[in-house]
Amino acid sequence: MLPRHTRYDYSPITERRDYHWPGGKRLAFCITTNIECFAFGKGRGHDNAKHGEPQTQRNYAWRDYGNRIGIWRLFDLADELGMPLAHNTNSLLYDYAPQIFERIRRRGDEIVGHGRTNSENLHDFRWEHDEARVIREVTETFARNEGRGPKGWMGAGAYENPWTPDLLKEAGYTYVMDWPCDDQPIWMRTRSGPLLSVPYPVELNDSPQVIHRQHTGREFCDMLVDQFEEMVEQSEKHPLVCNLSIHPYVFGYPFRLRPLRQALKHCFASRFMDRVWKCKPGDIADYCCAMEPGIIPGS
């Protein structure tokens, strides 16, 4: 027998009950940024030159561009397009760039728990009680600064330990975005009750596509348009979620920002936009939590 997990059961999309998003919409469209801070010269982190490079002032500064320049351009683009944003956010960012949180609050955007820093991930914590302490620290930091903890969690690098969903449920989280198994939300099992999995992309994500696979920004934006248009058409049969993952130190650069603006304008000019719900992952979670049992898989 293959090793298996017990978080959810197999459920083909062709056998599920139909439903609509608010207003009769069929495609929930989200843009989720990743606002991250890093240790200088230590720990983990992407390099823009090649894989496996050590942590240096060069790759630290490249990533820091996202907080100094890139995220502000993405805020402006979202304002221009009338698009709400969610932000996978490191809690230690409060110590470094509090102005970013001021803009998030003014926009009414969503903060998603994203660990303390992307210089570490949950695999660094080998004992359950250590991971529970870190999740609690992150959650309390957001609650202290925002008046409440995040509804959702997306682990740094989407890494988990076998007990992570249990700890997140016990820490008060409603949903998680670490399981890219579906185009619809599903309810997952934890030892303390159900936890919603909201779709989050490992493919329509600029980190693997641009940094690891070396696609250009324009090639990535072609993928975005293809994904959006195909999912709008597919959503006629099934309600779907199209979530786009953007890192400010990747698409905050002008030469990538331009095709991103063009791609999103093209999508939003589609004749199918009456089917599209511009939303945040937390909006999806709230809507699913209010639905009667038996509609969302796992409920």
- 207-234 pLDDT, tens digit per residue, is 999 999 999 999 999 999 999 999 999 9
Answer whether residue 50 shows pLDDT above 90: no
* Beta bridge mates, 246: 33
Amino acid code (one letter) for 9: D
Check residue 51 and give its pLDDT: 83
Check residue 126 and give its pLDDT: 87
154: region left, alpha or beta (phi > 0 left; psi from -120 to 50 alpha): beta
The answer to the question of residue 111 being in a domain is: yes
* Beta bridge mates, 32: 86, 245
Answer whether residue 49 shows pLDDT above 90: no
Check residue 294 and give its pLDDT: 96
Looking up residue 81, the CATH number of its domain turns out to be: 3.20.20.370
The answer to the question of residue 298 being in a domain is: no
User: pLDDT tens-digit profile of 277-290?
Assistant: 999 999 999 999 99
The pair of three-digit structure tokens given for residue 2, joined into one six-digit string: 């293959």
The answer to the question of residue 159 being in a domain is: yes
* Number of domains within the chain: 1
CA 78 to CA 98: how far, in whole Å?
20
Provide the Cα torsion 109, 7, 164, 152; round to 10°: 10
Range of the domain at 215: 18-289
The model's confidence at residue 138, banded by pLDDT at 50, 70 and 90, is very high
Check residue 270 and give its pLDDT: 86
The answer to the question of residue 11 being in a domain is: no
Quick one: DSSP state of residue 294? T
8 within 8 A of 297, measured Cβ to Cβ? yes
The answer to the question of residue 219 being in a domain is: yes
The model's confidence at residue 52, banded by pLDDT at 50, 70 and 90, is confident
The answer to the question of residue 93 being in a domain is: yes
Average pLDDT, the chain: 96
4 within 8 A of 86, measured Cβ to Cβ? no
Classify each residue of 132-171 as buried b or exposed e, where b means 16 or more C-beta atoms within 10 Å of its C-beta: bebbeebbebbeeeeeebbbbbbbbbbebbebbbbbbbbb
User: pLDDT tens-digit profile of 244-276?
Assistant: 999 999 999 999 999 999 999 999 998 889 999
Instruction: Provide, rounded to the nearest whole percent, the portion of the chain with pLDDT above 90.
Output: 95
Residues near 183 by beta carbon (within 8 Å), at least 6 away in sequence: 13, 199, 231, 238, 240, 241, 242
Check residue 180 and give its pLDDT: 97
The model's confidence at residue 48, banded by pLDDT at 50, 70 and 90, is confident
